[in-house]
Chain A
Amino acid sequence: MIKQHYQSIIVQTICSLLIPFIQLFALYVIFHGHYGPGGGFQGGVLLAVSIILQRLYLGIKISHQKFSPRLAMAFAAVGLLIYGLAGIIPMIFGGSFLDYGNLPLFWVHDAERRALGILIVEIGIGLGVFGTLVLIFDNLVGERW
């Protein structure tokens, strides 16, 4: 379907200028999620949007060399692993599931440890959503990879 890149210099320039700002805003949404609106899910969707925009204007072949679907699968798996470990590790240290107060970070204060736990879980959710949405797009387009 989208084999070669889009033959318009305006579209290519605008997209290549726009993609870093979308990724920067996505990182802001992830890391600022527990202070304002946003969070891991929205930031992951924005990261996936930047990669899908690159797939649309560069074409599948060059875009798979820049960001391969196997890397997207690895991102999704690492995100799920981070979320699961942030849930399981407090159970080992005597709390319940996702109880951030029992994370083994003994050098930070108690309330600060809970805030750090929320941030870790948000990063895991963001990576998982990012990899999964890019994988959904790649499997829907149907190229072999």
Chain B
Amino acid sequence: MVWQLDFWLLVILIVTAVIALSLKDLLAAVAALSAYSFFVALLFSQMGAIDVAFVEATLGAGISGVLFIVALFLTRRRSED
């Protein structure tokens, strides 16, 4: 439990979440969301929950990014709001 590591991981986590919400290019937003999932996984493993971190790294950063990109190919790439 190093509080500096916790603090900076949380700061990067919030920054990537705000980036993923504010981007207009949805492909870049998917990449930012994958980075968000990866930092959640790092935070979980730093807090000792290895099992949850494993699920987050495989599902959040792996599968859901691929599924979002496939869904983007079927719709438009730019967001209008």
Contact = CB atoms under 8 A, between A and B. Distances in A.
B63 A141 contact: no
Interface residues of B, number: 15
B54 A38 contact: yes
Nearest to A136: B67
A121 interface: no
Contacts of B55: 41-42, 45
Contact of B73 (A1, A42, A133): A1
Contact of B66 (A1, A46, A52, A142): A52
B67 to A, nearest CB: 6
Given A37-B50, A133-B63, A45 B58 contact: yes
A133 B50 CA distance: 23
Majority secondary structure of chain A interface residues (helix, strand, loop or mixed) = helix
A137 B73 CA distance: 13
Interface string A19-47: 00000000000000000011101100110
B59 interface: yes
Given A45-B59, A45-B62, A49-B62, A140 B54 contact: no
B70 interface: yes
B1 interface: no
Interface of A: 1, 37-39, 41-42, 45-46, 48-49, 52, 56, 133, 136-137, 140-142
Given A42-B55, A48-B63, A141-B70, 20 more contacts: A1-B70, A37-B51, A37-B54, A39-B51, A42-B54, A42-B58, A45-B55, A45-B58, A45-B63, A46-B58, A49-B58, A49-B62, A49-B63, A137-B66, A137-B67, A140-B67, A140-B70, A140-B71, A140-B74, A142-B74
